[in-house]
Amino acid sequence: MPPGLDIRPGDYVTVPLNHRSMIGVAWDALEAPEASPVAEHRLKPVADRLAAPPMTASLRRFVDWVAAYTLSPPGAVLRMAMGSAAALEPPAQQAGWMLAPPGGNAQPRLTPERLRVLAAMQPGQAYAGGPLAEAAKVS
């Protein structure tokens, strides 16, 4: 693990695998370490911890139980439990509109439509284009 990276059971992490990065979950240590089902050389170093809420202990126990009950690899069951990897990534930034502070040297041409848009906006709040146009009743 990289120094300073505090990984706890349930944390979503990224690990390098061949030429790509895969998402996984940090699991609890086994009670009997000599009975480890994974050979030491197959374990991958953690590259980073994702800023997502950790997987709960009850869900990790459920993954273990389903894997044992169905004789399936725990990684395959974990993949089903994780859902979409895109859900663990931070949301993409969206473009929007905000009121600029007064004092620019440019004198914009304020049409009646633009005045309605400005009247619909509040200082310090960001607006998406579609809802703002709808609120101002402009196209």
DSSP string over the chain: --TT----TT-EEEEEETTEEEEEE--PPPSSGGG-SS-GGG-----EE-SSPPPPHHHHHHHHHHHHHHT--HHHHHHHHH--GGGGSPPPP---B-PPPS--S------HHHHHHHHH--TT--B-HHHHHHHHT--
Regarding whether 52 and 24 lie in a shared domain, the answer is yes
In a domain, 2, yes or no: no
User: Which of 71, 88, 105 corresponds to the end of one domain?
Assistant: 88
Average pLDDT rounded to a whole number, residues 85-111: 77
User: What confidence tens digit (pLDDT) does each residue in 31-90 have?
Assistant: 655 666 677 787 788 899 988 889 999 999 999 999 999 999 988 999 888 877 666 777
CATH number for 24: 3.40.1440.60
Domain hosting residue 45, numbered range: 12-88
Residues 55 and 77 in one domain: yes
Q: Assess if residue 6 is contained within a domain.
A: no
Q: Are residues 66 and 108 in the same domain?
A: no
